[in-house]
Structure 1
Amino acid sequence: MASASVLSPGDVTPGSVKAAAPLPDIMPPVKARKGLWGYMYRNPAIAIGGTIVLAMILMAIFAPFLGTVDPTALAPARRTREPSAQYWFGTDMLGRDVYSRVVYGARVSLIVGFAVAFFSSVAGLTIGLISGFIRWADNIIMRIMDGLMSIPSILLAIALMALTRGSVGNVILAITVAEIPRVSRLVRGVVLSLREQPYVDAAIASGTRTPVIIWRHILPNTIAPMTVQATYVCASAMIVESILSFIGAGTPPIIPSWGNIMAEGRALWQVKPYIVFFPALFLSVTVLAVNLLGDGLRDALDPRMAKRI
C-alpha cells in the first residue's frame, strides 16, 4: 500500500500554502438581551404580573387624586344610577359612588394580602426551620400544624373572627393563623432535604453550632421557595378577606372593601349587576396578577426552568 506523503519544512515554499476560506455562518449570532427589557423578555409572567400589581398599588396610594369622591358619602337622591360619564361605575343603593369605593377598596385588599404574606412567611419560616432541623421538636410541632391544617382555612378564619370584633387588624390576624401551617409545612420539607446535604454534614462534623448552621447554610436556601409561596399566600389572603367581608365576618361595612361592596350589591344583582361586577373584576385581575408574579418567580428562581436565551 502506498503511504501518505508528508511535507517537510523544506518542501513548503512561499505561496504554496493558502489559508482556507472562512466557513459561512449557518446560524445567525444570538444577541443576548440585557438590562430591564431583557429581563422582562425572558420572564414575561413577572413583567405582566408585576406591572398589574404595581398599577394596583399606585391606584391605592393615589386614590384621592384619581377623580374620586368620599367613598362613604351618602346621597339617597342619586341611588342606583347606571354607569355614565358622571358616575363611571354607577352608584349603589345608598347613592355612594361605586368607582370611588372600588378604588379605595384596593387599599384594604392589598394591605391584607401583603401583611398576611409577610407575617405568615416569617412565622412559618421560623417554625419550619426549627421543625425540619431539630428532630425531637419535629413530632410535637408538626402534630400541632396538622391539627390546624385539618380545619379549612376559611372556616378557621371565620371561627377566629367570631371571637373578635370586625377590623382590618383582626382580619389579618385570623388569616395569618390559618396560613401559617401551610407555610411551615413547605419550609419543613425544604429543610429536610437540605439537612442531608454533604456541606451540612461537614458543618456538623466540624463542631459548628446548630443556630449557625441554620443561619448560614439552611436559611439562604429557603428564601427562593418562600418568596414564591408568599405570592400565593398573598393571593389567597385577598380572596379569604373578600369572602369574610361578603358574609359579614370581615371588615366593618363602613370601610370600603371589595368584599363589602359585593355583599351590599348582591341584593340587586339581577337588576343592577354593575355593583357586584366592578369590584369582582378588580379582585380577579389583582389575584391573577399576583399568581402570574408567583409563577414567574418560580421559573426565574429555579435553575432547571430558567430561560437563559
Structure 2
Amino acid sequence: MSPPGAPDLAAAAAAPGIAVAAAPDLPDIFPPVVRRRGLRGVVARHPAAAIGVAILLLMLLAALLAPVLFTVDPTALAPSRRTRLPSAQYWFGTDMLGRDIYSRVIYGARVSLVVGFSVAALASAIGLAIGLVSGFVRVLDGIVMRVMDGLMSIPPILLAVALMALTRGSVGNVVAAITIAEIPRVARLVRGVVLSLREQPYVDGAVASGSTVPAIIWRHILPNTLAPLSVQATYICASAMITEAILSFIGAGTPPTTPSWGNIMAEGRALWQVKPTIVFFPALFLSLTVLAVNLVGDGLRDALDPRMAKRL
C-alpha cells in the first residue's frame, strides 16, 4: 500500500492513456568478491608458491625414501661399468668409477636438504636473538653491530672456505661454517625491524605501564618480526644449498666419499665435454630445489605483506 500523498503507481499504470516508465537496474560497478578457502584457495591465490611446495615435497620424499626408489649403494665401485650413458639399467648413467649416478643424486638430496634447512633454522634463531637484543638495548647496539658489519664485509663463500680450512670436512662443519656466514644478515634485518617497532605507541604504552624489557620484547616486538624473518629464512635455505655445493665442488665441503650434488659435479667436470650427463643431473636437481625454495619465499612474502597482495 502506498503511503499517504504518494501517487498510486499500480492505478496509474492501469488507467488508459497513462504510461509509467520504470528506471532500469543500476549496473554493478564492482564485481562480486569470490572467497576461496582451503587448499584450493591457497593454490589459486599463490600458484607459484604451490608449485614450489610440491617440488620441495617431492625432493623430501625422494631423500627419505631413497633406499626403496630402485637405488643401489651410491658408493659401490664397478670399474668395468664406468662412464655408461643413461639407459634402462642406469637411468642417469655411471661415473668414471662405475658408480650409479641416479643413486648418488637421490642420496645427495639428503645432504643438500639437511644443510639448507639446518642453516636456515640455526641462522634465523641466532640472528633473531642478536637482532632483538641489539635493536632494543641501545647500549649493546654499537658493539654488536660493528662485529656484524665486520663479518658482512667478507663474502659468505670466502668466510665459509676460511672456516672450513680450520676443520675437517663433514656435514656438521659445513652447516656451522655457512651458519656463521649467514647470521649477520639475519641480525641486521631483525635489528632494522626492531628499531621501527620500538617507536610505536603501543611500545610506549607498555613502557609506561611498567612492563619489563624482556616482557616487551616477548609480547610486542618478537611477534612482529616473524613475518619478515620467515621470508628471509627461505632465501637463506636456498643460499646455503648453493654454498654447500660450491664448497664440495672446490673440495672444501663434505668428504669426497659422501654423495652430494657438489661432489658429483666436481668428479664429473673432467669429463664434461665427453660425458656431460655426469654433471647435468646433479646440477638439474640443485637448480630445481633452489628454485622451489625461492618460489616458496616469494609466496610467503606475498601472503604476509598486505602491500604485495594482488587481489582480495
* TM-score, scaled relative to structure 2: 0.93
Q: C-alpha displacement at 1:44, in angstroms?
A: 1.4
Give the Cα separation in 2 of the matches to 1:187 and 1:55.
32
2:210 paired with 1:207: yes
Q: C-alpha displacement at 1:45, in angstroms?
A: 2.0
Q: Is the 8 A contact 1:300 1:307 kept in 2?
A: no
Question: Who is 1:15 aligned against?
Answer: 10
Give the Cα separation in 2 of the matches to 1:273 and 1:63.
24
The one-letter code sitting in structure 1 at the alignment partner of 2:89 is Q
For residues 201-227 of structure 1, give each alpha carbon's deviation from its aligned partner in whole angstroms, at most 9, with x where no partner exists: 111111110000000000000000000
Give the Cα separation in 2 of the matches to 1:280 and 1:148.
30
For residues 169-196 of structure 1, give each alpha carbon's deviation from its aligned partner in whole angstroms, at most 9, with x where no partner exists: 0000000000000110100011011011
Given candidates 51, 54, 68, the residue that maps to 2:54 is: 51
Q: Which runs of 5+ in 1 are unaligned?
A: 1-6
Question: Who is 2:303 aligned against?
Answer: 300
Question: Who is 1:3 aligned against?
Answer: none
Question: Who is 2:18 aligned against?
Answer: none
Give the Cα separation in 1 of the matches to 2:135 and 2:11.
73
For residues 23-67 of structure 1, give each alpha carbon's deviation from its aligned partner in whole angstroms, at most 9, with x where no partner exists: 265576443222211111101121111111111111111111111
- Aligned CA RMSD, in angstroms, stands at 1.9
Give the Cα separation in 2 of the matches to 1:183 and 1:111.
20
The one-letter code sitting in structure 2 at the alignment partner of 1:15 is A
Alignment of 1:85-100 (within 5 A): 85-100=88-103
Give the Cα separation in 2 of the matches to 1:232 and 1:219.
20
Question: Who is 1:103 aligned against?
Answer: 106
Partner SS for 1:294: helix
Structure 1 205/26 Cα, relative in aligned 2: closer, same or farther at 3 Å? Answer: closer
Question: Who is 2:288 aligned against?
Answer: 285
Give the Cα separation in 1 of the matches to 2:240 and 2:202.
37
Give the Cα separation in 1 of the matches to 2:161 and 2:226.
31
Give the Cα separation in 2 of the matches to 1:119 and 1:11.
76
* TM-score, scaled relative to structure 1: 0.94
2:175 paired with 1:175: no
Matched pairs, number: 303
The one-letter code sitting in structure 2 at the alignment partner of 1:71 is P
2:191 paired with 1:196: no
Question: Who is 1:256 aligned against?
Answer: 259
Structure 1 201/269 Cα, relative in aligned 2: closer, same or farther at 3 Å? Answer: same
